[in-house]
Amino acid sequence: MKEQQTTQETPNKNIWQKIGNTASLIVDKFEVWILIISTSGLAVLLIANVISRNVYRSIHFAEEVSNLFIILITFIGTSYATRKARHIRMGAILELLPNKVEKILVLVMTAISAIVMFILAYIALRYVITLKARNTLTASLRAPYWLFVIAAPVGLGMSGFQFVRTFIKNIVEKEVWLSPEQKDEYEDEKTMLDSAIASINLDEIELKESK
């Protein structure tokens, strides 16, 4: 009976893992491409505006489109930083604490952060709804202004969702997870160091030393 239960539980876990991995991959592609397009677009637009200003006159919509790119980078980047554990935190203090205390603090911080992000997302969403109801337009392009700021509730909501994922991950797993995809403060550095050490040919070094 126990073997049957374990065999039934493992496929269910695999299904949920596949769903989670697929969702994480989709979110990753969405965030990365938004950040790439926004950063590249902002750089190109600013350079073009400087050239245009010196040759003839400034591009009339450059400021508005630049603001759009900055909003996208800020709020979509917030979600990306949360998912990759690149947000500001007291990592040095956490590393000095025992594992149980560190896990409790991470759970508390992720829970509070998720609540704050969802509250901010709700406030931002109400602001977007107000702008849409008032039919507020931008000065140069005469475009609906709510389209320029809709990235705020989306990014904040996605960031809150990532904190929820981190909270659940720390409950399910024994290790301390700083984000859904980042287990250790210096995990990337350790991986890079291990790969660098693995690439060193110790036999050649020993031969050179013997010579």
Q: Token match 């025992």: residue?
A: 98
Q: Quick check: 38 pLDDT over 80? A: yes
Is the pLDDT at 105 greater than 60, yes or no?
yes
Q: Which of 138, 141, 139 is nearest to 149 (CA)?
A: 138
pLDDT digits (tens, 9 = 90+) for 154-204: 999 999 999 998 898 888 888 888 888 887 655 554 554 555 556 555 555
Nearest to 166 by CA among 117, 120, 96: 117
Q: Which residues pair with 190 in a beta bridge?
A: none
Residue extents of the structural domains in the chain: 2-210
pLDDT at residue number 114: 95
Question: Which range has the top average pLDDT, 37-41, 86-90, 189-193?
Answer: 37-41
Q: What is the pLDDT of residue 74?
A: 94
* pLDDT tens per residue, range 124-156: 999 999 999 999 888 888 899 999 999 999 999
Question: How much is the pLDDT for 106?
Answer: 87
pLDDT of res. 69 = 94
Q: What is the pTM of this model?
A: 0.75
pLDDT for position 87: 72
Please report the DSSP string for the chain in residue order.
-HHHHHHHHHHHHHHHHHHHHHHHHHHHHHHHHHHHHHHHHHHHHHHHHHHHHHHT---TTHHHHHHHHHHHHHHHHHHHHHHTT-S---HHHHHHS-HHHHHHHHHHHHHHHHHHHHHHHHHHHHHHHHHHHHT-B-TTT--BTHHHHTHHHHHHHHHHHHHHHHHHHHHHSSS--SSSS--STTHHHHHHHHHHHHHS-HHHHHHHHH-
Mean pLDDT of the chain, nearest integer:
81
Give DSSP secondary structure letters for 15-45. HHHHHHHHHHHHHHHHHHHHHHHHHHHHHHH
pLDDT > 90? residue 123: yes
Percent of the chain exceeding pLDDT 90 equals: 39
